[in-house]
Structure 1
Amino acid sequence: MKILTLCFVVALTTQCLHVNAQLIYPKTPFNKAEAEAMIGKDGTCTIKGQVAQKGNYLVNLVELYPCTAYFNEFMEMRKKDKKGKKPISMSDEAYSYRILTIIQQDGSFEFKGLNPGKYYLQTRVIQTKVANGEKQVGTETTTTYNGHGVQIASGSTPIMEKTRYLYQEDKMYFKYVDVAADGQVVTLIL
């Protein structure tokens, strides 16, 4: 019994290690200086935007990533994996060089202090919506007899009840943005 338990623990440990080892990272080394130069606080460029989806958002953040060589390779790897089956990831250091901003009540957002360059923006919009419908709550059976008491027909009709239900829509919106010159203000709809 002890040997069986030990084999089970070893098998689970091996599987856990195997899962962690499967993460796929871009081969291009992350260039910290390039990312810092793009999103440094000394920049004079601004990206202003509006989320196209109207309503209340459960996720109210927009993420901005500087398009470094590392990030571009990461996006190419994700594009090639159309079914999303490969565990493609960025390093923790590269991921830490993103900027987050809050979506305001009117759907607007803004990134300030950027330098010229290419940026990738994305947001996830999860909205709760209400819809009307009907649901079946039972069945009504009708039986018809002739004058002699012999059954000549039988049928069932569903009993329907009007109902309101909630559902969620979950969408990802993204866009590449080029900031060409110092002091430029780019306006977009995401």
Structure 2
Amino acid sequence: MFTVFKAIKLCCLILLVAGCVGRDLEITAKFDPREAALIKRGGSAKLSGQAFMRQNGGGVVTCAGEDVNLFPATRYATERFAKIYGDVSGGRINVFQGVTTKGVPPEYLEYRRVATCDADGDFEFSGIAPGTYYVQSRVVWMVPNSYFPEGGSVAKRITLRAGQRLRVLLN
């Protein structure tokens, strides 16, 4: 039965989604493929980790099935991550604080590596060149009887040395 309350919730959801499609960012640094070229070189470093968020009730939700992105920490990426997460080190934003890809140079997305979180929220990148990177993923879930998704996105700035094996937790 479609009640007035459900109609009001649906209207609020539509307004919320329409208003929160994503915010545009103005990045002053120009993307330079030469700065990002290390992502395409092979290396001996390995990065593994897990992405998760804790729900208000204490439950833990992982990034299962979501992409994990590895971006070189170029001047462009550093400014972009700082504006998204409020800190050059990365951080956490909620599901409604996302950003659009408006103005993002198409080649920026070509200079990244992508892995997928397994059912436990674990991910892995191998053969990485030494350098500084941003690792980022989404952790999103739905609550029963709610129209609103919960969770968000997590990111962390990391530095890898040749041959290093690093495990990170994104939360």
**TM-score of the aligned structures, taking structure 2 as reference length:** 0.62
Aligned to 1:113: 127
Alignment of 1:47-126 (within 5 A): 47-53=47-53, 54-55=60-61, 60-78=66-84, 79=86, 89-126=103-140
Whole-angstrom distance in 2 between the partners of 1:169 and 1:84: 12
Sort the Cα spacing of 1:84 and 1:55 in 2 relative to 1 into closer, same or farther, 3 A: closer
Structure with the bigger percentage of strand: 1
Mapped pair 1:128 → 2:142? yes
Are 1:101 and 1:109, in contact at CA under 8 Å, matched by a contact in 2? yes
> Are 1:177 and 2:158 counterparts?
yes
Unaligned runs of 5+ in 1: 1-22, 131-164
How far apart are the structure 2 equivalents of 1:24 and 1:127?
Answer: 25
Kindly indicate whether structure 1 or structure 2 has the higher relative contact order, using CA contacts under 8 Å at least 6 residues apart: 2
Aligned residues: 130
TM-score (norm 1): 0.57
Contact 1:29–1:70, Cα closer than 8 Å, also in 2: yes
From the CA coordinates, give the structure whose radius of gyration is larger.
Answer: 1
Q: Deviations over 1:126-156 (max 9, x none)?
A: 11333xxxxxxxxxxxxxxxxxxxxxxxxxx
Aligned-residue identity in percent: 28
